[in-house]
Amino acid sequence: MRDETSYRNIWRIAYPIIVGSISQTVLNITDTVFVGHLGELELGAGALGTLFYLTIMMVINGFTIGNQIIMARRFGEERTADIGRTFASSILVLFAITTAVFVAVKLLASALLPTLVSNAQISQLVDGFIQYRIWGIYAAAFTLLLRSFYVATANTRVLIPVTTTTVGLNIVLNYILIYGKLGLPAMGFNGAALASVISELVGFAIIIAYTIYKKYPRAFGLFNIRRFEPQIVGETLRIASPVMLQHLISFSAWFVIFLIIERMGERSLAISNIVRSLYIAMMVPIWGFAEATNSLVSYLMGEKHFDRIALLVKRSMLLSFTSVILVVAAFYLLLPQIIGFYSPDTSLVADTIPVAKVVMVGATIMSLGFIVFMAVSGTGNTLTAFGLELSDITLYIIIAFVLVEYAHINVTNIWFVETFYAGYMLLVCSLYLRFGKWRNKVI
C-alpha cells in the first residue's frame, strides 16, 4: 500500500463502504416507508424492533471489528499467514457467540419485551418482528466476518455488489411480503423481517462464493479450522471484547432512548422513527471514512509509522465533514418532501420537520467525533475506547432521562442529546490521541 495517508487512498478504501452504506440506508428508508403506510402504531414498533435487533447484533459486529483491527495490523506487518490464522480461529468463536445470542433471544425476548415497552400492542408487534428476524443472524454474522477480512486487507470493492444486491432484493421482497403481492398472503409488519432474513442469506451466498472464486481461502488459509489455537483466540478476544461491549452498550443506549420516547406517546415514537432513518442517512459518509481510518491506523501501527497517524486522522475528518455537510444541505432543501415519503399524514410530517433539523446538527458534529473514536480503536487500545464510549453513553442516558422525566421536554428537544453525545466523543477522543500513551500498543 503506497502513501497510506493520501486522500486518494482513504477514498479508495472508504467509497465501497459508503456505497454499501447508501444501499443499507435506502433499505432502511424503504422499510420505514412501507411500514409507515401500515399505520402510526406499526411505524413506532418498527423503530423498537429494528433497534432491538441491531443492539444484539452489535455483540457480533464488535467481535468482527476486533478481528479487523488485528488482521489490519498483520497486513501492515506483512504477516499474511497470521491473517488467515486469526480469521480461521475466529470462525468457531463467532459460531458460539451467534448461537448464544440466538438461543437467548428465542428464550427471553417474549418475556422481556412486555417489561420494557409500556404499550401492549407495540410490544406484541416488536416480539413478532424479532421472532422472524433472528433467523437471519447466522448469515449476517459470517458476512460481517468476511467483511472484516476485506476491510482489513484494503480490498473493499466486493462490498459494493454484495450490499447492493442484498438491498435490492430486500426492497422487492418487502413490497411482496408486506402487502401480499404475487399471490402471497399479506404479512404486514412481519413481512419486513422475513424479507431481511432471505436477503441476508443471499448476501452471504454472494460474498462466500466470491471469496472462494478469488482463492483467498487457499492464499490466506481462511478456513483452516482443523487446529484450534487458544493463543490466537485469546488475543482476538482481548482486543475484541471491549469493542463488543462498546457496540452493545452504544446501541443499547439508543434503544433505551427510544424506550424513554415511547412513554411520551405513539406520535413521539413515530416521529423519532422517521428521524432515526433520516439521521442514519445523513451519517452515511461517516461509516466509510471511519472504517477506513480504523483499518489504516492499525496498518500504520503495524508499520511503526506513528508520526503519520495524525495526518491520516485530519484528512479523514475533512473528507467526512465535507461529505456530511453536502448531505445535510441537500436534506435541508427538500426536507418536507423527503419526510412526506414516510407517511401520508400531513400533521405527522409537520411535527417531524423541527426534529429533523435538530439531528442535522448532531450529524455534522458526529462526522468529526466518530472518526477520532475509530482512530482510537484502530490503535488497538480497545479497552480505552470502551471506557471513553461508556462515559459518553452514561451521561447521554442520564441527561435524556432527566430532561424527559423532570423537565418534561418535548420530542424535538430530546434529540438535542445527540449533539452532546457527538461533541463529547470528539473532545475526549481528540485529547486521548493528543496526550494518551497509545504508540507502543502491541497486539
pLDDT at 20 over 70: no
What secondary structure letter does DSSP report for 344? S
Mean pLDDT of the region 184-200: 87
pLDDT at 18 over 70: yes
Q: Cα(269)–Cα(189) distance, rounded to whole angstroms?
A: 16
DSSP codes joined into one string, 261-281: HHTT-HHHHHHHHHHHHHHHH
CB-neighbour burial class of residue 228 (10 A; exposed 0-12, middle 13-18, buried 19+): exposed
CA atoms within 13 A on the CB side of 312: 32
By mean pLDDT, which of 14-28, 89-103, 266-280, 428-442 is the weakest?
Answer: 14-28
pLDDT at 108 over 70: yes
Which residue do the cell numbers 448464544 mark?
A: 100
pLDDT value at residue 1: 46
Band the pLDDT of 21: cuts 50, 70, 90.
low
Residue 438 contacts residue 381 (beta carbons within 8 Å): yes
DSSP codes joined into one string, 137-189: HHHHHHHHHHHHHHHHTT--TTHHHHHHHHHHHHHHHHHHHHHT-TTPPP-TH
Residue 399 contacts residue 420 (beta carbons within 8 Å): yes
Task: Look up residue 244 and give its three cell numbers.
Answer: 463488543
By mean pLDDT, which of 324-333, 363-372, 381-390 is the weakest?
Answer: 381-390
Angle between helices 189-213 and 120-133 (to 10 degrees): 20
The length of the chain in residues reads 443
The Cβ of residue 409 has, within 10 Å, a number of other Cβ atoms equal to: 16
Band the pLDDT of 24: cuts 50, 70, 90.
low
Q: Say what the pTM is.
A: 0.75
Task: Look up residue 275 and give its three cell numbers.
Answer: 428521524
pLDDT value at residue 257: 83
Band the pLDDT of 2: cuts 50, 70, 90.
low
pLDDT value at residue 77: 84
Q: What is the 3-state secondary structure (H, E, C) of 382-402?
A: HHHHHHHHHHHHHHHHHHHHH
More confident residue, 126 or 16: 126
pLDDT value at residue 3: 62
pLDDT value at residue 239: 84
pLDDT at 67 over 60: yes
What secondary structure letter does DSSP report for 306? G
Which amino acid is residue 281, in one-letter code? A
pLDDT value at residue 160: 83
pLDDT value at residue 214: 92
Region of 437 (left: φ > 0; alpha: ψ -120 to 50; beta: rest) is beta
Own/partner pairs, 3-10, CB within 8 angstroms, 24+ separation = 4/296, 4/299, 4/300, 4/305, 4/308, 4/312, 5/296, 5/300, 5/308, 5/311, 5/312, 5/315, 6/315, 7/315, 7/319, 9/296, 10/289, 10/292, 10/293, 10/296, 10/312, 10/315, 10/316, 10/319
pLDDT value at residue 441: 62
pLDDT value at residue 344: 79
**Per-residue pLDDT tens over the stretch 368-427:** 999 999 999 888 887 888 899 889 999 988 998 888 888 888 888 889 999 999 999 999
Band the pLDDT of 134: cuts 50, 70, 90.
very high
Q: Cα(224)–Cα(229) distance, rounded to whole angstroms?
A: 11
**Angle formed at CA 381 by CA 377 and CA 384, multiple of 5 degrees:** 90
**Per-residue pLDDT tens over the stretch 251-299:** 788 778 888 887 788 888 888 888 888 888 888 889 888 988 888 888 8
More confident residue, 243 or 363: 363
pLDDT value at residue 25: 66
pLDDT value at residue 443: 57
Residue 362 contacts residue 283 (beta carbons within 8 Å): no
Task: Look up residue 8 and give its three cell numbers.
Answer: 486518494
pLDDT at 19 over 70: yes
Mean pLDDT of the region 223-250: 81
Residue 46 contacts residue 192 (beta carbons within 8 Å): yes
Percent of the chain with pLDDT over 70: 95
Q: Cα(255)–Cα(337) distance, rounded to whole angstroms?
A: 28
Mean pLDDT of the region 335-359: 89
Task: Look up residue 435 and give its three cell numbers.
Answer: 496526550
